[in-house]
Amino acid sequence: MFYIFYGSDDFSRHEALQKLMAETGINNLTDSSATVLDGKSLTMEQLANVCHSIPFFASQRLVIVEGLLQRFAPKRAKNGPSSSERTISTALAAALEAMIPGMPASTVLILVDGDIKSNNPLLKRLHPLAKVRGFPGLKGEQLHDWIQDKVTTKGGRISPAAARLVVDFAGANLWSISNEIDKLLLYASGPTISESDVRETMSYSRDTSEFAMVDAMMARRTDVAQRLLHQLLDEGTKAPQIIAFVVRELGLFLKAREALDMKLGPNETQAKVGIAPSYRLDKAIRHAKACTLEEIRQVYGMLLDADISLKTGAMSEELTLDILLADVCRR
């Protein structure tokens, strides 16, 4: 069996992958019948060796390849990929296309990637051979509908106004929203989650989680930021989620800083930042006033370095985040 999961919605991708793993009888990625490969440096020989191996203690072998589709994304540089790079990519795609039909029936191969364009050469070439699922990021009414569906699935109800307020507090991060839904279902005062439930539960969460950590980082309160960071890690929040959250919040600060530099009025500032009047908008403006445009861009560079460190495995997740936090606080 051959699958392709791609898209910027990593939460839904993760859920789909977990469901597929359960169907194959593999409980976690440390199972001897599961293999995770780095597609950015993968050779066809390595992939073929794993895919053609017969599992010893399970009925199926799960092979997950991360980042292979991105390797085939069109280059943005003026000169584009070199002729040798094009030759290697073409040969790898052809070999992969030829290998898939001959894989043992026990092998389940999944290509997992992020935000890939629909015209990605490898995606187009392998599409006829795979069960393809795209997971685009949710926004607007899609996000509100997702919250309604998730609450209903968990046996609860939430008012439309409360769902919109959840988005106002948590943004489009489905990892955060899912955690908050669990808390709301436990602490809601009535059979239907109301706006007051969201304000009481999520304002507390906000003060003790990602929002407060970002506030402390930008305010250079190292001790507070470090305590909140490790609280998030202890609660099971993954490093890529934390970095993604900081990137998104920093994007609001950047837009607010640009609005201040352009001397825009309140309504124009709100439109530029892209969120309704709320705690998050006030916070974005407050941090923007305390930072220069160059300073915000400097923090973006630190986040990029941390993201590269995570993806290359140069350091542990915890150490990568500790260094990032220290760099941001002493910028």
Q: What is the model's pLDDT at position 76?
A: 52
Q: What is the CATH number of the domain that holds 56?
A: 3.40.50.300
Which of 186, 207, 228 terminates a domain? The answer is 207
Q: Domain containing 305: what range? A: 210-329
Kindly give the confidence (pLDDT) of every residue in the chain, 331 residues in length, as a single tens digit, with 9 standing for 90 and above.
Answer: 999 999 988 889 989 998 998 888 877 777 778 889 988 888 888 999 899 888 777 788 889 999 899 888 776 544 554 444 455 567 778 888 889 989 999 899 999 998 888 888 889 888 999 999 999 988 888 999 999 999 999 999 999 999 988 887 777 778 878 888 988 998 887 889 998 888 877 765 554 567 778 888 888 888 878 888 887 887 778 899 899 889 988 888 989 998 888 888 888 888 888 876 666 777 788 888 888 888 898 999 999 999 998 888 888 888 999 999 999 988 7
Specify whether 49 is located in the same domain as 75.
Answer: yes
At residue 278, the pLDDT reads 62
Tracing tokens 């220069």 back to the chain, one arrives at 292
Whether the CA torsion 258, 167, 5, 232 is positive or negative: it is: positive
Residue 37 and residue 123 in one domain: yes
pLDDT at site 163? 92
Structural contact between residues 49 and 15, judged by C-beta atoms closer than 8 angstroms: no
Tally the domains of the chain. 3
Residue 309 belongs to a domain with what CATH number?
A: 1.20.272.10
What does the pLDDT read at residue 231? 77
pTM: 0.59
Please indicate, yes or no, whether residues 63 and 114 belong to a single structural domain of this protein.
Answer: yes
CA 150 to CA 181: how far, in whole Å?
8
Q: Are residues 149 and 34 in the same domain?
A: no
Chain position carrying tokens 């390595």:
46
95 and 177 assigned to the same domain = no
d(CA 139, CA 331): 33
Looking up tokens 């003790």, which residue turns up? 208
Contact present, 138 and 170 (Cβ < 8 Å): no
Q: 288 and 231 in one domain?
A: yes
Assess whether 251 and 236 both reside in one domain.
Answer: yes
Between CA 258 and CA 94 the distance in angstroms is: 47
| Amino acid letter for position 281 | L
Q: CA dihedral defined by 186, 191, 195, 200, rounded to 10 degrees?
A: -30
Q: What is the pLDDT of residue 302?
A: 93
Same domain, 66 and 115: yes
Q: How far apart are CA 156 and CA 49, in angstroms?
A: 47
CB 135 within 8 A of CB 17: no
Q: Do residues 41 and 106 share a domain?
A: yes
Q: CA 72 to CA 87: how far, in whole Å?
A: 12
Same domain, 162 and 108: no
* Same domain, yes or no: 227 and 145: no
3-state secondary structure 209-260: CHHHHHHHHHCCCHHHHHHHHHHHHHCCCCHHHHHHHHHHHHHHHHHHHHHH
Tell me if 112 sits within 8 A of 21, measured CB to CB. Answer: no
Give residue 297's Cα distance to chain centre. Answer: 21
Name the domain boundary from 207, 236, 255: 207
Q: Which of 134, 151, 180 is at the close of a domain?
A: 134
The pLDDT, as a whole number, for residue 160 is 92
CA angle in degrees (0–180, nearest 5) for 44-5-127? 65
CATH number assigned to the domain comprising residue 167: 1.10.8.60
Give CA–CA dist 258/188, Å, rounded. 39
Within this chain, do residues 103 and 168 fall inside the same structural domain, yes or no? no
How many CB atoms neighbour CB 55 within 10 A? 18
CA distance linking residue 153 with residue 146, whole number of Å: 10
Closest CA relative to residue 122, chosen from 157, 146, 86: 86
